[in-house]
Amino acid sequence: MDGLSTDVELTDVQGGWDDRQLAIDKVGVKDIRYPIVVKDRREGIQHTIASVNMYVNLPHQFKGTHMSRFLEVLAEHKRAISVESLPELLRHIQQRLSAEEAHIELQFPYFIRKEAPVSKAAAMMDYQVRFVAGMRGDRFHMTLGVVVPVTTLCPCSKEISERGAHNQRSHVAVDVRFKQFVWIEEVIEWVEKNASCELYPVLKRPDEKAVTEKAYDNPRFVEDMVRGVAADLLADPRIRWFRVTSENFESIHNHSAYALIERDKEGRTSCAFPAV
């Protein structure tokens, strides 16, 4: 008999009783690396690698959940995760872990080939994208999130300075829930058109001159950023709910400037499982 024998029946500690009468909202595993396929407006699809978090709810009477079963569900999936496969994957997690609720979070780099404005020098620009999805019973919901880096130039600095104005790189994060499909590229475009200037992976000297002058001609406060993007989202009938945040990594301060706008266009309070 070797030391790896599985003939001995082992105690199911996680399935034991807990008498503290405290249910757990989310319990699971985090930071799993896994391939994912996302829709690419130009190329059709894009293959990338996601950091995956998976959770279920745990009723108060159970001591623990079976963590290995999350990985088993992924192994049985046998293909790259896609938006289309998320409902099936979440249902499988519910069934395998005997849970009413299942949640998954996927964060990954998304790449777009961008050309510099003057020289047309091209390279790949990466954006951080996040899918957050959940299933409660038979009800599925999903949020798309994108972090878009841009340049903002301070309107106050431009107004009061005799020479130049300070600018900074800003991260604008947009999260949306939608009725109809929304491209990742569309979210990026909503942000970049409201910035002082978008960012580029490669800039030659004529490009640097062009983007510097464009930013100077389009000053933006952090408040301008969130208001501009929010106005576009309010005008798009596909969007049900959104949150827009902007953080300026200030170049003349040792702190950041920050603003947030969140709206539910259908009059519901924001929650993890909005009514369908």
Structure tokens at 78: 């046998």
Same topology, domains 19-110 and 138-269? Answer is yes
Q: Residue 54: beta bridge partners?
A: 29, 104
Range in 13-17, 202-206, 256-260 the model is least confident about: 13-17
CB-side exposure of 264: number of CA atoms within 13 Å? Answer: 10
Residue 276 has pLDDT above 50, yes or no: no
Residue 264 has pLDDT above 90, yes or no: yes
Average pLDDT over residues 174-193: 96
Average pLDDT over residues 23-44: 91
The residue that leads in pLDDT, 193 or 10, is 193
Place of tokens 């997690």: 93
CA distances from 70 to 61, 87, 265 (A): 21, 15, 35
Instruction: State the greatest distance between any 2 C-alpha atoms of the chain, in Å, as a whole number.
Output: 85
pTM for the structure as a whole: 0.85
Domain boundaries, the chain: 19-110, 138-269
What is the four-CA torsion angle of 253, 256, 261, 262, rounded to 10 degrees?
A: -170
CATH assignment of 138-269, given 3.40.630.10, 3.90.1010.10, 3.40.50.10490, 3.10.270.10? 3.10.270.10
User: Rounded to an integer, what distance in angstroms lies between the CA atom of residue 187 and that of residue 181?
Assistant: 12
User: Rounded to an integer, what distance in angstroms lies between the CA atom of residue 70 and that of residue 141?
Assistant: 20
User: Rounded to an integer, what distance in angstroms lies between the CA atom of residue 243 and that of residue 263?
Assistant: 7
Nearest Cα to 113, choosing from 125, 101, 99? 125
**Burial (CB count within 10 angstroms: exposed 0-12, middle 13-18, buried 19+), residue 40:** middle
Burial code (b: 16+ CB inside 10 Å, e: under 16) for 114-138 equals bebbebebeeebebebbbbbbbbee
| pLDDT, tens only, 63-105 | 667 788 889 998 887 677 888 889 999 999 999 988 999 999 9
pLDDT for the residue 269: 52
Nearest Cα to 114, choosing from 42, 169, 190? 42
- Decide: 226 and 246 in contact? Cβ < 8 Å: yes
Structural domain 19-110, CATH architecture? Roll (3.10)
pLDDT for the residue 1: 45
